[in-house]
């Protein structure tokens, strides 16, 4: 062994030492370099900036779509009679003045009879007045007779005008029929009458309800614990089961400052425009009420967050070769905005697209 060691030249020992040293430096260099974001991925990702904004609060409520009661007309019977012809069905759209139903009525027959008698009396009074005037001019009647004839004519004319107004108010028919007409444009949202039904004026149930659904109310339920978190003018987003991908935007229009004694909730009202009549009364609605506080906090897009091992993380970007994983404390998330209480400062850059993919590469 001693002989073999002596035969190894100093040059060979120097070469081996140098080779070993270069290998160690290459390994150290690789370890120091770490993960570098590929150019192909760098072109596709978006970088978000940490900002400071007013704190948003979000409150989820349940509710239902209802009629706009300011634009709802309930039609009650103004006469008694027999319903003979229903002309519309529930859900039909009707125009102002359109016939809804015909009713045979003894009262209408009485009104038309009063009109005919008043008209006949006026004709008789007019002939009497004309004859009295002629006789007065010929000296065959006194001035008192002329004044009496004129007064009788005036009374007959007044009676005819009254009978005509009553008849017109009740449809204007001279054959004893009464036609129920729509007072506004809108939809028939309630129908409480059928053919061959007898109706009376003292019936508390309306015949039809007409509503203009160009805008509707959404009545939302607020529990006692959340009353302090809503106020007039708060921004509202409404979604329904029928249109899960569509959001209807509105504001809190009125707060009913009383609790329902049965379910202990307070109602708040949202008025929504209803283009295309998509929203229909009695639809179930999910309501999100949002408002701002008078304080600011660090905020980032929700897409920047990565949740792993019961902790939220973000990827802080400085350069393609300088990306670090940082834990953060999330206070609240409202929509696509998250508010951060610890871990970030304003102006820092975060990876906003495919953060999970890059996070996994950094951890591999």
Angstrom distance (rounded) from CA 219 to CA 63: 5
Multiple choice CATH, 60-69+212-293, 1.10.3720.10, 2.40.50.140, 2.40.30.170, 3.40.50.1400? 2.40.30.170
pLDDT at 172: 67
| Token digits of residue 110 | 């009485």
Asked if CATH classification 3.30.565.10 holds for the domain at 39-55+295-363, the reply, yes or no, is no
Predicted confidence at residue 9, as pLDDT, reads 53
Q: Pick from 310, 313, 309: which is nearest to 340 by CA?
A: 313
- Residue whose token pair is 């089961």: 241
Q: What is the pLDDT, as a whole number, of residue 244?
A: 86
Which pLDDT belongs to residue 219?
A: 94
Does 106-175 match 39-55+295-363 at the fold level? Answer: no
Determine the angle formed by the axes of helices 143-169 and 106-138, rounding to 10 degrees. 160
Q: Which CATH class is domain 106-175?
A: mainly alpha
H or E stretch covering 259 = strand 248-259
Radius of gyration of the chain (CA): 43
Domain spans in the chain, listed from the N-terminal domain onward: 39-55+295-363, 60-69+212-293, 77-104+177-211, 106-175
**CB-CB contact of 222 with 265 (8 Å):** yes
For the chain, the straight-line distance linking the first and the last C-alpha, in angstroms and rounded, comes to 47
pTM: predicted TM-score of the whole model, two decimal places: 0.57
Cα–Cα distance measured from residue 311 to residue 301, given in angstroms and rounded to the nearest whole number: 17
The pLDDT value recorded for residue 5 is 39
Which stretches of the chain score pLDDT less than 70?
A: 1-33, 171-172
Q: Which CATH architecture has domain 77-104+177-211?
A: Beta Barrel (2.40)
């Amino acid at each position: 062994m001693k002989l073999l060691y002596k035969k190894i030249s100093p040059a060979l020992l120097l070469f081996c030492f140098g080779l070993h040293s270069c290998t160690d430096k290459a390994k150290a260099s690789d370890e120091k370099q770490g993960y570098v974001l590929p150019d192909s991925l760098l072109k596709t990702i978006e970088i978000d900036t940490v900002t400071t904004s007013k704190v948003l609060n979000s409150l989820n409520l349940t509710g239902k779509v209802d009629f706009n009661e300011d634009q709802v007309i309930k039609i009650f019977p103004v006469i008694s009679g027999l319903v003979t012809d229903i002309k519309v069905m529930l859900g039909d759209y009707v125009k102002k003045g359109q016939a809804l139903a015909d009713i045979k009525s003894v009262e209408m027959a009485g009104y038309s009879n009063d009109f005919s008698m008043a008209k006949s009396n006026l004709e008789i009074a007019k002939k009497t007045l004309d004859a009295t005037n002629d006789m007065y001019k010929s000296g065959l009647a006194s001035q008192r007779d002329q004044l009496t004839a004129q007064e009788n004519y005036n009374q007959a004319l007044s009676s005819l005008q009254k009978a005509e107004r009553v008849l017109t108010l009740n449809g204007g028919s001279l054959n004893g029929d009464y036609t129920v007409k729509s007072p506004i444009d809108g939809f028939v949202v309630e129908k409480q009458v059928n053919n061959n039904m007898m109706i009376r004026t003292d019936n508390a149930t309306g015949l039809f309800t007409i509503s203009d659904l160009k805008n509707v109310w959404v009545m939302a339920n607020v529990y006692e614990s959340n009353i302090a978190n809503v106020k007039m003018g708060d921004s509202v987003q409404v979604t329904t089961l029928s249109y899960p991908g569509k959001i209807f935007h509105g504001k809190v229009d009125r707060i009913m400052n009383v609790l329902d004694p049965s379910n202990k909730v307070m109602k708040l009202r949202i008025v929504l425009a209803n283009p295309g009549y998509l929203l229909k009364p009695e639809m179930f609605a999910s309501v999100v009420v949002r408002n701002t506080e008078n304080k600011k906090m660090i905020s980032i897009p929700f897409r920047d967050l990565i949740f792993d091992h019961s902790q939220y993380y973000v990827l802080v970007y400085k350069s393609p070769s300088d990306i670090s994983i940082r834990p953060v404390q999330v206070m609240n998330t409202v929509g696509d905005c998250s508010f951060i209480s610890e871990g970030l400062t304003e102006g820092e850059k975060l990876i906003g697209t495919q953060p999970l993919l890059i996070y996994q590469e950094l951890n591999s």
